[in-house]
């Protein structure tokens, strides 16, 4: 293998650029050429490719987003689309791919490997932290710190006006962001998709907090924890108790911004390890970090096995909210 490709796909995550930089420079150290594929699988089908040298990735370590851009592709969901993408790769002399993204990206990579024989190594770049086979995904730490800063500011307002704030964070199917942000931000309630919610019990808990002398509270809600998100949960709670409350949806602010040191280091380590794996003709795997060590997990296992939230931390958050 003399030439590899690198692309980003799906939702952007802080640290993707650091991973691209690591891929290019590690490849250069191993004598491999790198082709950057723009706009993910959509660009792969269209042949949107550009050579990347060591200077092309200078000064991107600290930048959020992705210099290679990202897009979703309906055509790639078809076998014909994947065959077209593989033909583009072959014509460009690309012998293997580094795919930076989340579960949707890896499902596509898995099919590209199985159907077209293209070796792909996945690098987990998603703020959701929901991929099995790595303790943390690239972008998660930055997203948590971004949301935490916002919650700290909102708590000042909540205390000043003696109100309850329902704060919605990202997490359609996973509560990793909500759990870490809620615990670090001292939330009275943390609502996650992994746990069933009882609006009446939450209402009673907020009343009990008031009886203990609390004049304001923070409720952190993962967007998929309850139908309608934070607003839906508040409406359900108001059926049981009158509460002076406001809803704040943090939204896409969590996906942007300069990556933290932790995300830059993780991205650098995993990007380099992905290139080393391709150089050994390894494909169909995701590279992650487990207990401080680089680990490889089959792509199929990474996307299909359920990664659970830390139940100990969830229990601790309830004790500390008293």
Q: What does the angle CA 254 – CA 306 – CA 291 come to, to the nearest 5 degrees?
A: 75
Burial grade of 78 (CB within 10 A; 0-12, 13-18, 19 or more):
exposed
- 120, 287 Cβ separation under 8 angstroms: no
Tell me how far apart the alpha carbons of residues 281 and 96 are, in angstroms, rounded to a whole number. 8
CB atoms near residue 179 (< 10 Å): 28
Residue 212 confidence (pLDDT): 87
Q: What local confidence, expressed as pLDDT, does residue 209 receive?
A: 86
Domain 3-139+259-304 top-level CATH class: alpha beta
pLDDT in the model for residue 283: 95
- CB count, 10 Å around CB of 280? 9
Q: Of the residues 12, 128, 180, 263, which is catalytic?
A: 128
- Cβ atoms of 179 and 145 within 8 Å: the answer is no
Provide the pLDDT for residue 49.
Answer: 98
User: pLDDT (tens digit, 0 to 9) for every residue of the chain, 322 residues total?
Assistant: 899 999 999 999 999 999 999 999 999 999 999 999 999 999 999 999 999 999 999 999 999 999 999 998 999 999 999 999 999 999 999 999 999 999 999 999 999 999 999 999 999 999 999 999 999 999 999 999 999 999 999 999 999 999 999 999 999 999 999 999 999 999 999 999 999 999 999 999 999 888 888 889 999 999 999 999 999 999 999 998 888 899 999 999 999 999 999 999 999 999 999 999 999 999 999 999 999 999 999 999 999 999 999 999 999 999 998 7
As a whole number of Å, the CA-based R_g of the chain is 22
Rounded distance between C-alpha atoms, residue 151 and residue 257, angstroms: 17
Pairing of β 189-191 and β 33-37: unpaired
Alpha carbon distances (Å) from 192 to 156, 179, 201, 226: 24, 7, 15, 8
Fold identical between 3-139+259-304 and 141-255?
yes
Three-state secondary structure readout of 214-233? CCCEEEEEECCCCCCHHHHH
Domain ranges of the chain: 3-139+259-304, 141-255
pLDDT at 242: 83
- DSSP annotation of 260 reads P
Choose the CATH number for 141-255 among 3.20.20.140, 3.40.50.20, 1.10.1370.40, 3.40.50.460: 3.40.50.460
Q: State the Cα–Cα distance between residues 127 and 181, nearest whole angstrom.
A: 13
Residue 303's nearest CA partner among 111, 86, 139 is 111
Please report the pLDDT score of residue 243 as a whole number: 82
Active site residue 128: yes
Neighbours of 74 (CB within 10 A): 9
Element (H, E) at 112: helix 103-116
The torsion defined by the Cα of 267, 66, 280 and 288, in degrees rounded to 10, comes to 40
User: Rounded distance, CA 207 to CA 54, Å?
Assistant: 59
- In the annotated binding site for substrate, the residues are 126-128, 163, 170-172, 223, 246, 252-255
How many C-beta atoms surround the C-beta of residue 202 within 10 A?
21
87: CB partners within 8 A, 6+ apart? none
Give the per-residue pLDDT at 15.
Answer: 98
Q: Which two tokens stand for residue 84?
A: 């077209």
């Amino acid at each position: 293998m003399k030439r590899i490709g690198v692309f980003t796909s799906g939702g952007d995550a802080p640290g993707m650029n650091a991973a691209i930089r690591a891929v290019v420079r590690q490849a250069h150290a191993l004598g491999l050429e790198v082709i950057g594929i723009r706009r993910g699988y959509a660009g792969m089908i269209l042949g949107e490719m550009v050579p990347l040298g060591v200077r092309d990735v200078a000064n991107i370590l600290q930048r959020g987003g992705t210099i290679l851009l990202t897009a979703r592709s309906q055509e790639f969901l078809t076998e014909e689309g994947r065959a077209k993408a593989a033909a583009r790769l072959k014509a460009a002399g690309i012998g293997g791919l580094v795919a930076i993204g989340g579960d949707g990206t890896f499902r596509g990579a898995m099919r590209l490997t199985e159907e077209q024989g293209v070796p792909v190594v996945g690098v987990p770049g998603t703020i959701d932290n929901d991929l099995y086979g790595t303790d943390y995904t690239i972008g998660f730490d930055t997203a948590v710190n971004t949301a935490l800063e916002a919650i700290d500011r909102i708590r000042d307002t909540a205390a000043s006006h003696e109100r309850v704030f329902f704060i919605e964070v990202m997490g359609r199917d996973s509560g990793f962001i909500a759990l870490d942000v809620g615990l670090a931000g001292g939330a009275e309630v943390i609502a996650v998709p992994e746990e069933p919610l009882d609006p009446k019990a939450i209402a009673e808990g907020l009343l009990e907090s008031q009886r203990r002398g609390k004049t304001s509270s923070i409720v952190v809600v993962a967007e998929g924890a309850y139908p309608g998100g934070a607003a839906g949960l508040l409406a359900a709670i108001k059926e049981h108790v009158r509460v002076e409350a406001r809803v704040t949806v943090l939204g896409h602010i969590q996906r942007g911004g300069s990556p933290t040191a932790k995300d830059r280091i993780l991205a650098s380590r995993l990007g380099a390890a992905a290139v080393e794996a391709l150089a050994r003709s390894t494909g169909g795997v995701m590279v992650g970090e487990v207990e401080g060590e680089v680990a490889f997990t089959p792509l199929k296992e990474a996307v299909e096995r359920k990664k659970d939230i830390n139940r100990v931390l969830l229990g601790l958050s309830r004790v500390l909210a008293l």
